[in-house]
Amino acid sequence: MTQGVPKVIIHGGAGSSVGHQERLLTLREDMHSIVGQVYSKAETGASARDCVVLGCQLMEDSPHFNAGYGSVLQSDGQVRMSAGLMDGDAQRFSGIINVSRVRHPIDLAAYLQPAADRVLSDLGAAELAREMGIVPFDPVTDVRLKEWMRERANNFQSAMAGVVAETVEIPADPESRRGTIGVVVLDAEGRLAVGTSTGGKGLERLGRVSDSATPAGNYANAFAAVSCTGIGEDILDECLAARIVVRVTDGLDILAALEKSFREATAHGRDFGAIALSRQGQIAWGKTSDVLIAAYHTGDGVGDTLELDLGTLTGVVQPL
C-alpha cells in the first residue's frame, strides 16, 4: 500500500437477492456517502478506532439498516441492540449486549474501551447509559413497528425480521436479508480497528445474544480486522472473524484466509458474509449468501459489492 493512505470498508447486511435487487441498489448512495465521510475523517489523521465509531454512528442513524434507529423488534415488541468495538493496535475488545433506548450502541462500546470490565449485558448496559448521561431515545421506526405487527397477526411464523428496512409498506420477506452493520478502518498510521452494531435478527427469544459483541463477529489485531454479518449463530459456530484474523496473523494472505474460511463455511451450510482489511491495505470480503451489502474506499475512490455476480463466493484484494 501507499504509505499513509487510509482504507475503509463498511457493510450493511447479507442474505438473498431474490426480488430485492432494486431496493438493494437504492442503498448504494447511502453507503457511498457514509464510507466517504469515514474516509474523510481518516484523511485528517484520526485514529482507526475513532473513524470506526463515526462510521457505526452514521449507519446507526440511518433507518435503512438493522442497527440503532431502524433496528428490528424482538418477539415482545421491544428493540434490544448490541455492538462490539475492537482496537487492533491495542488488541482490546469492548461490547454492549441487548441495550435499549439509546441512539448509538457503539458509543457505549467505545466508552468501555479503557475499562476493566469491557463487555456488559442489558442491566449493566442500562446503568452505563445512565452513567454516561445518554438521553433516552426510541429507535423504533414506523416501518419496523408495522413489520412486527404483521408478524404478530401471523402468529410469528417467520424465524426473523427483514434486516434492511422496507422503503414502502409491502409485506417483507423475512428471510431475504439478515445481518448487522460493520465498519473496518486502516488509518494513516497503519493501525486497524473494527466495529459492528445490530438490532439482532428480530422476533427472537428474549435474552438471545448476537455475534456482534463477540470476537466471532468482530475481531482485529495488528495484522487484520474483520466484521461479520448474517446468521449470528452460524457466525458463532465458525468463530468467523477471529478465525480469519488468526489465519492472517499466521502468515496467510487475507484473501486466501477468507477463501479458506468460506469454503469451510459453505461445506457446513452457513449463511453469512464478512468484510476485512489487512495491515498492508488489502481490502477483501467473502460471502456464502447471495448478496453482501458493502462499500469501500481504496484511497483512489469508492466502490461497492452490489455490482458483483450474485450467488458466488466473491472477494477482492486492492493493489498495495
Return the pLDDT at 90.
Answer: 97
Query: Which residue segments constitute the domains of the chain, with CATH numbers given?
Result: 7-304 (3.60.20.30)
Q: What is the sign, positive or negative, of the torsion defined by CA atoms of 116, 122, 125, 127?
A: negative
Beta carbons within 10 angstroms of residue 226's beta carbon: 33
pLDDT tens for 173-214 read 443 445 589 999 999 999 999 999 999 998 888 999 999 999
151 pLDDT exceeds 90? no
49 pLDDT exceeds 70? yes
Measure the CA–CA gap between 195 and 203, rounded to whole angstroms: 24
Per-residue pLDDT band at 124 (split at 50, 70, 90): very high
Query: For residues 314 and 181, which has the higher predicted lDDT (pLDDT)?
Result: 181
Contacts (Cβ under 8 Å, ≥6 apart) of 319: none
Catalytic residue among 2, 26, 167, 180: 180
Residue found under cell 459453505: 266
pLDDT tens for 245-298 read 999 999 999 999 999 999 999 999 999 999 999 999 999 999 998 889 999 999
Is residue 180 flagged as an active site residue?
yes
> What single-letter DSSP state applies at residue 96?
E
Q: Which three cell numbers stand for residue 117?
A: 470490565
Measure the CA–CA gap between 307 and 316, rounded to whole angstroms: 13
Measure the CA–CA gap between 153 and 104, rounded to whole angstroms: 30
Return the pLDDT at 165.
Answer: 43
* pTM, two decimal places: 0.91
Nearest to 225 by CA among 48, 42, 56: 48
Nearest to 55 by CA among 295, 278, 225: 295
Return the pLDDT at 3.
Answer: 59
Q: Which three cell numbers stand for residue 295?
A: 462499500
Environment class of 160 (CB within 10 Å of its CB; exposed 0-12, middle 13-18, buried 19+): buried
Distant-in-sequence contacts of 130-135, Cβ < 8 A, 24+ apart: 132/107, 132/108, 134/102, 134/103, 134/107, 134/108
